[in-house]
Amino acid sequence: MKLSPRLKMVADMVRPGVVAADIGTDHAYIPIYLLQNQICPRAIASDLRQGPLENARMTIFAAGLMGEIDVRQSDGLDRIGAHEAQDIILAGMGGNLIVDLLARTAWLRNSEKRLLLQPMSHAEDVRQYLCDNGFKILFEQACFEDKRVYIALCACFADAPLPCFSPAYYYIGELPANGTAAAEKHIKNTTGRLTKRISALTVADIKPEEAAYLRAIVKEIPNHRRTRCADESS
Ligand SMILES: C[S@@+](CC[C@H](N)C(=O)[O-])C[C@H]1O[C@@H](n2cnc3c(N)ncnc32)[C@H](O)[C@@H]1O
């Protein structure tokens, strides 16, 4: 199984030796790659819809991995048991759907689990959800594929109080620490997207509070670093 750069980026974040669950797997490329490369002893390939599950079954059958990869119909993690998988992959979905699926799965609040998240949009909402709900973003990756930049986050539940984060953190997260050309490009794209939104609001002369909020974020991004709540640092 040769993965595209985006899927390879996600697969490379899985910890060797664990059971991985790929939620919204579609073709099951990631679980097959994980088994074929002996990264995982077993995996779960799950999807909400029958069509993708059929794709997954056919690809897994062709790879001779029916015994190692459990194909399962599930809405998010609803039919995945807490003890069945350690690394949970949610890739190729919108950030809002990822947040919805994480929010209704209480057993993810366990520091032994890893969340490997690859939002196609609204990454800021995913980061904010994680930070507001006691999850720590451990690191982020970025890659180029077909002239687009994709990002992926690795997070886990922190068994400790978390600092508050500046709004700019929700937009660029741990990407500055990543330091690759793809990460830099994603930060630049994010700044461009925010700047466009500010211009549109300014020209239309609407939502001055939102424009001011976004302006402050754009200003902070170049010198971004985590900032603690005023009451924590005092
Ligand atoms: C665009 S595909 C992404 C496939 C693959 N993960 C990737 O990154 O290339 C999104 C998949 O998520 C599935 N999906 C959408 N909502 C879902 C849900 N609530 N629970 C599980 N899977 C879902 C869709 O059926 C589809 O197969």
Q: Which tens digits make up the pLDDT trace of 71-126?
A: 999 999 999 999 999 999 999 999 999 999 999 999 999 999 999 999 999 999 99
Q: Which atom of ligand 1 is nearest to the CA of 7?
A: 8
Determine the atom of ligand 1 nearest the C-alpha atom of 10: 8
Q: Which atom of ligand 1 is nearest to the CA of 78?
A: 20
Helix (H, G, I), strand (E, B) or coil at 87: strand
Cβ 204 vs Cβ 198: under 8 Å: no
Q: How far is the CA of 136 from the centre of ligand 1 (A)?
A: 24
What whole-number percentage of the chain has pLDDT above 70?
A: 95
DSSP code for 2:
P
pTM of the model: 0.94
Average pLDDT, integer, range 219-232: 60
Query: Nearest Cα to 21, choosing from 102, 124, 94, 131?
Result: 102
Q: 155-160: long-range contacts at Cβ-Cβ below 8 A with a sequence spacing of 24 or more? A: 155/114, 155/115, 155/117, 155/130, 156/111, 156/112, 156/113, 156/114, 156/115, 157/108, 157/109, 157/110, 157/111, 157/113, 158/111, 158/134, 159/111
Helix (H) or strand (E) holding 175: helix 175-178
Query: Which ligand 1 atom lies nearest to the CA of residue 76?
Result: 20
Q: Is the pLDDT of residue 229 over 50?
A: no
pLDDT tens-digit map of 165-212 = 889 999 999 999 998 999 999 999 999 999 999 999 999 999 999 999
**Confidence category of residue 130, pLDDT binned at 50, 70, 90:** very high
Q: Report how far ligand 1's centroid is from the alpha carbon of 151 (Å).
A: 17
Please tell me the distance between residue 65's alpha carbon and the centre of ligand 1 in angstroms: 21
The predicted pLDDT at position 232 comes to 42
The predicted structure's pLDDT at residue 230:
35
Which of 96-100, 140-144, 158-162, 215-219 has the weakest average pLDDT? 158-162
Which residues line ligand 1 at a C-beta cut-off of 6 Å? Answer: 23-26, 47-49, 52, 75-76, 91-93, 97, 101
CB 47 within 8 A of CB 56: yes
The protein residue whose alpha carbon is closest to atom 14 in ligand 1 is 24
pLDDT of 62 reads: 97
Residue to probe by mutation, ligand 1, list 46, 93, 96, 97, most atoms within 8 Å of CB: 93
Give the pLDDT score at 231: 38
Q: Which domains are present in the chain?
A: 1-160 (3.40.50.150), 163-234 (no CATH)
Please tell me the least confidently modeled range out of 27-31, 39-43, 49-53, 156-160. Answer: 156-160
**Burial of residue 68 (number of CB atoms within 10 Å: 0-12, 13-18, 19+):** middle
Stretch 54-64: mean pLDDT, rounded?
A: 97
Q: How far is the CA of 93 from the centre of ligand 1 (A)?
A: 6
Rounded distance from Cα 100 to ligand 1 centre (Å): 13
Q: Which residue has the tokens 């930049």?
A: 149
Which residue's CA lies nearest to atom 24 of ligand 1? 24
